[in-house]
Structures are given as structure tokens and as C-alpha cells.
Structure 1
């Protein structure tokens, strides 16, 4: 039985429909410069019971009606710790070098639990970049205006630009145009890719969602491998990445430099 349900090769991108850990264990080593992923946050409550029973985790009611529950976000803390540690262990098999890096988006409430679990895979915590959304989210009191990222390296990290600091400022993806409930802006993904990968380097995203990492990677002249377990989101990613590949080809064909 195959480790994945579908495989699509779209230009410089290879996309797998299946479970992240299972697919990473089965495919040939990728020699990836970086893993950049946006896993489930599991932040629907402050107790484990609340997380399992959480109904929305801050999503708007119309979004919830559209998507019901987005996959995996009612895991317990232990479940998410296991998933990210297993993903990090598998990435060591796919890393291009000891300088390859790993970056996971992370809710602030989970930082203290997830960072040690990922470190236990043999990675070194290097930094915690922050995405400044430039406007507060839902709620009262000190409303969240940011998301954290946990950034690791297998050994001494290899970086490819010094243009950016650890605060990445970009508005959220527009609710009227986004194609995934937790879609990350391309501006944020481009910064992460530029810092961690060389031109023509390979980016791995084991929690691909709607494909934003792949769209940004192709636009920057990188190669991409994405894994997604939800068939609907996988189809969205295929369509978006195919369109991004066509756009990149037109730019290069017209003599313009890649973004």
C-alpha cells in the first residue's frame, strides 16, 4: 500500500496527499535546505479537555460553518508534541546539510511545551521570529496582534541573507480572498524562505494547507515539496502552485528577474 494517496508533480514542485510523518518516512531523501511548516495550533483551551472540545479557537462563526473543524486542531498538547517531534526527526533524514533549518508557526500558549519537544529530536533552538499582523485579532483585553515561530537548526545554521530582523510585519491574508482558514501571507513566507534557503534550494512543508509556502518558494526560484492530509486543501494547493509556476515561467521568459 502506498504511503500517500496522490502525488502531483507541477514544475519544480512535488505535492503529496497523505500523512506528514508517513510520507516523510517513505519517500527518498530530499536534501532540503529548510522545513517551513504551519502545523495545527491545538490552542482551543487552557486545559486538555477544553482543547479536545474546543469549538472554534477564535475563528469566526461563518468560517466554522464553512470548514467545520480544520484537521488536527483538537489534538491534546501531547499529541502535538509527538507530531512535531516526529516530523523533526524525519526531517534530519531529508536535510541537505547540518546547516539545514526548521521553522514551525506556533501559538504563544504552546511555545513552552513545543520547543523542548522539538529540541529533543536533536535540533537546536536558534530564534523565535514573530509575525506582526499590524492589527489586533478577536477578543478583549490584550488582543493578539502576533504569531510566534519556533526556529531550529540541525547544527550550525546556514543563512542566505541578512536583510531581515526577527519581526516580520505583514497584514493577515484577506478574509475575502484567502483560500484556507489559516492562510499565511505570501510576504511572511517569502522572508522565511529567503533567509533559510539559497536560490534553487528545496523547501519542504509537511503541513502544506492551501500551498502558500509553495507559491512563495516558486516565485523566489526555489524548489518545493509539500504534504497535505486534507483532499480539499490539497486540491487548492495544486491549483495555486500550478498558477504560481506559470507566472514564474512568464516572468523568466520575459527577461525579468525572479521575485
Structure 2
């Protein structure tokens, strides 16, 4: 687990190749002094990515539209996106809907086929009750009692692309901190066990905590030295790894 201090564009490229890159850059949606788009990092991230790796980037629709040309020129191809729904949000103007969601979009190298990208199926075990109608015995001849119906409750299903997770309001270290549970889903999906995660905008160190919890190696970078120290302390305070290997991830198709 490594935390570096500096501009990710100069510090991180030589730390790869990364099995997965996590990016939570400023969105450029507001007039706040720190909320300025970081130019040029996507191409550097793509070049530091393993052939089978992918990049998950948090942002708003506005930020992705603004970066569309940069994404294409960086040699990245869109894979999928999730919507993070939170319990509260922001209202930039009184005449617009209150925004209670953010996007996380996955990209992969345009010179790599999707079939070679590490991306396992994520499932949940919270499927609601469903009825499976099957006939048993001789063919149904019109008598209702001759039909045999079996009710099955619950079971696994594909994880939905809209994921609800409470944000860190009131307990956050960083103003744009993401919940660890949400990050863990992305790590288990797109980074192999013991793979290397590159966290190019480390902020509070939430990705490092999630990486440690899921048995992934981690290199983070934060430009604010004071914040980097807090992030490093946060990661160090999590339970240390034991000498035993971390628990394996569920097999593709199994409940996670």
C-alpha cells in the first residue's frame, strides 16, 4: 500500500502497469477554486494500463461530455456505466432538479478486445420471489389440479446498474469522498485478486481502504500533502493483512 504526493500526471505513469485505474478528478461543474478539470491525465493513464486492465472514472454527464474528445484521443473505449444514487445531493439552481446521483464510467484500451479485459459478473442474492410454472406427470388435459406449479423464492440476479449507497456526508475526510462499499464493488468487478490498483486522485484514501479490504495492491497519488497524510493514516488504521491469503472473490455468477 503506497501513497505518493504530487501531480498524478508526473508521479503515476511510472508506477504501472495497473490492472485497474480509479479516477475521481474534479468535475469542473462549479466555480469553486479547486473544481478545475485536469487536462491530459487520461492519455497518461491509458499508457500506464495493463492490456487486460480498465479505467473507472467518476463524474457528471457534463464532465464526460466536456472530456469526450480527450477520451477518444487518449485511445480509450467506453465499456459501461453505473449510476450511484445517494440519499442527498446538490441543487445548483432552484429551477432545476436536485441532483442525487453521480456516474462512474468504465473505459478500456482501444487496442485491446473486450473479451480480454478482466471483468467478472457481479450478482446479488436479493431477487424477489418468483413463480416457476412447470407441469409434472402426464400432459395437462384441462383439469386444473393436474398442473404442477413450483414457487421459488429469491436467488441470484445480475447486479443492477443503479446502485444506492449513502454518501459520507457528516463524516467525510474529503469534500468529494466516495463510500468504500461502492468502491469495493468496482474493485471486485474489474481488478483481479492481488492486482494493482492505481488511484490517481486519492483524496481521502477511500480507494486504498477498499483495496486493502479486498486483497488488492494499491498505489495512490494526492496533490495535497496534508490530505495525503490523512489518507495514509486512514489506510494504515484498517485491519492489517494476515499471513494467510485473502479470501477469494466469488466466482463469476456467484452471489457477492
* TM-score tier after normalising by the smaller chain length: 0.7 to 0.9
Q: Secondary structure at the match of 1:104?
A: strand
What corresponds to 1:6 in structure 2? none
Structure 1 contact 219–258 (Cα < 8 Å) conserved:
no
Structure 1 contact 202–222 (Cα < 8 Å) conserved:
yes
Residue 253 of structure 1: how far off its partner (Å): 6.0
Say yes or no: does 1:158 pair with 2:118. Answer: yes
Structure 1 contact 34–100 (Cα < 8 Å) conserved:
yes
Question: Once the two structures are superposed, what CA deviation does each residue of 1:195-218 show, in whole Å capped at 9, x if it has no partner?
Answer: 111110111011101111111011
What corresponds to 2:68 in structure 1? 115
What corresponds to 2:176 in structure 1? 182
Q: Please point out which of 207, 210, 213 is paired with 1:216.
A: 210
Residue 258 of structure 1: how far off its partner (Å): 7.6
Structure 1 contact 124–153 (Cα < 8 Å) conserved:
yes
Distance 1:174 1:95, change over 3 A: same
Residue 136 of structure 1: how far off its partner (Å): 4.1
Q: Secondary structure at the match of 1:204?
A: strand
Say yes or no: does 1:15 pair with 2:10. Answer: no
Distance 2:248 2:168 in 1: 22
Aligned-pair RMSD on alpha carbons?
A: 2.3
What corresponds to 1:203 in structure 2? 197
Q: Secondary structure at the match of 2:90?
A: coil
Between the two proteins, the alignment pairs up a number of residues equal to 207
Q: TM-score, normalised by structure 1?
A: 0.73
What corresponds to 2:26 in structure 1? 40
Structure 2 matches for 1:35-184, cutoff 5 A?
Answer: 35-44=21-30, 54-55=31-32, 69=33, 71=34, 73=35, 75=36, 80=37, 83=39, 86-97=40-51, 99-138=52-91, 140=94, 141-154=96-109, 155=112, 156=114, 157-163=117-123, 164-175=159-170, 177-184=171-178
Residue segments in structure 2 that go unaligned for 5+ positions in a row: 124-158, 250-256
What corresponds to 1:232 in structure 2? 226
Residue segments in structure 1 that go unaligned for 5+ positions in a row: 1-12, 45-53, 56-68
What corresponds to 1:65 in structure 2? none
Distance 1:143 1:243, change over 3 A: same
Question: Once the two structures are superposed, what CA deviation does each residue of 1:195-250 show, in whole Å capped at 9, x if it has no partner?
Answer: 11111011101110111111101110000010110011101111011112xx042x
Q: TM-score, normalised by structure 2?
A: 0.74
Structure 1 contact 219–248 (Cα < 8 Å) conserved:
no
Q: Secondary structure at the match of 1:96?
A: strand
Distance 2:212 2:185 in 1: 13
Q: Secondary structure at the match of 1:145?
A: strand
Report which of the two has the higher share of strand: 2
Which 4+ residue blocks in structure 1 deviate beyond 3 angstroms?
134-141, 252-259
Distance 1:180 1:15, change over 3 A: same
Q: Secondary structure at the match of 1:183?
A: coil
What corresponds to 1:10 in structure 2? none
